[in-house]
Structure 1
């Protein structure tokens, strides 16, 4: 009998122990604690050694004077007769670098020069009316500029006024602000060049007089 009681006591004690050791539900999380003070900043590390300086590059070649690709001739003597008895006449001057692109998209300027009359060095852009004659030029084919003289009143031309001619070829895509790539010059650029005097053109494009 005593033994049975001992067995029951041990069994009950074991059940109580198991019940007491069972983990209960987790309680709510407590509030976050106050953040501690920031510690002092660490000392700066030593600066690294400077890198070696590269060797200077070679100087580039000097650029061309004036606006890129502008073409100009020397003064070309006139081959007109000294006394033209007809009401009009024409001569051709060679311009090897006059291309279709320049004819279509660029600017061609032709100047006439008189070395004896008036001031002794009169230079005018064509077309130009002098007395009863109109002096002009045409672009009829690649590589050639046609110079013409036409009487304005139906009389004979007589003695031509200009003794020498010079041309300036400005390819399309060139402007006073620099090269802007391929394409035609704007209408405003054509007008600007046409309004310039000979002295302004040679100064603008750095052309020897």
Structure 2
């Protein structure tokens, strides 16, 4: 009888230990609950103030126009003989404005004029070719412009076509290294090619009398 009571007490003690060791923390995790409703959106912040506009810089002075930049001569009488027996000839014109800077950077134009007995003389840009002769010019040196005539057929030149000459120098009107090479014919200034302009267009454009 006593032994039976002891067994019952042992069983009760073991059962108590099992109950104590099986707490709620050891159970399986339950499913997640449903998501809560989205909260109300906050009010938008105020826009920032616009920045102030910058001030415009001062406008530069307008560049010189017309004859302020352009150098031109009076009509210069020819020094050629009335009848040239040789196949080539030339004479020099002293030009103080023909500086090295202008040789490198300026447009240098030369015109010849003859008098056919009309009220308006004929004026042509050089180089100019007649039936048998070529009339041209070149930069001989700093300060020296040379007017030339050469026979195309290798015969005597005979009577020169022009009776006087005039030069026009347009500073900054030519890419560097242009007029000094190739007989001084490079005369482009951006989109303007002065060799394509007539004498009247040149004088009107620059206000040359």
Structure 1 length-normalised TM = 0.58
The question of 1:17 aligning with 2:16 is answered: no
Residue by residue over 1:35-79, the C-alpha shift from the partner in whole angstroms, topping out at 9 and shown as x without a partner, is: 64x84773663763x65665553221213548xxx8643335235
Residue 81 of structure 1 deviates from its aligned partner by 5.0
Quick one: distance in 2 between partners of 1:27 and 1:202? Answer: 102
Name the counterpart of 1:58: 58
Partners of 1:57 and 1:107 lie apart in 2 by 33
Does the Cα contact within 8 Å between 2:71 and 2:169 map onto a contact in 1? yes
Q: 1:3-42 deviations in whole A, cap 9, x for unaligned?
A: 9966763553233221243423435656x64864x84773
Query: Partner residue of 1:196?
Result: 197
The aligned length equals 185
Bigger radius of gyration among the two: 2
Counterpart-to-counterpart distance in 1, 2:168 and 2:83:
23
* 8 Å contact from structure 1 (residues 86, 157) kept in 2: no
In structure 2, do the counterparts of structure 1 residues 43 and 20 end up closer, same or farther at CA, with 3 Å as the change threshold? closer
Q: Which residue of the partner structure matches residue 77 of structure 1?
A: 76
Distance 1:107 1:166, change over 3 A: closer
Residues 176 and 17 of structure 1: CA distance in aligned 2, closer, same or farther (over 3 Å): same
Cα-Cα RMSD? 4.5
Asked if 2 retains the 8 angstrom alpha-carbon contact of 1:100 and 1:142, the reply is no
Task: Provide structure 1 residue ranges, at least 5 long, that are not aligned to the other structure.
Answer: 178-188
Q: Distance in 2 between matches of 1:155 and 1:54?
A: 70
Question: Retained in 2: the 8 A contact 1:115–1:122?
Answer: yes
User: 2:120 matched to 1:120?
Assistant: yes
Identify unmatched segments of 5+ residues in structure 2: 177-187
Residues 123-159 of structure 1: CA distance to partner in whole angstroms, max 9, x if unpaired? 211122458654211344454331013466525336x
Separation of aligned partners in 1, 2:121 and 2:200 = 13
Match of 1:183 in 2: none
Tell me if structure 2 keeps the 8 A contact 1:114–1:161: yes
Pick closer, same or farther for the CA change 1:100–1:176 going to 2, 3 Å: closer
- How far apart in 1 are the matches of 2:157 and 2:53? 79
Please report how far the alpha carbon of residue 102 of structure 1 lies from its aligned counterpart in structure 2 after TM superposition.
3.8
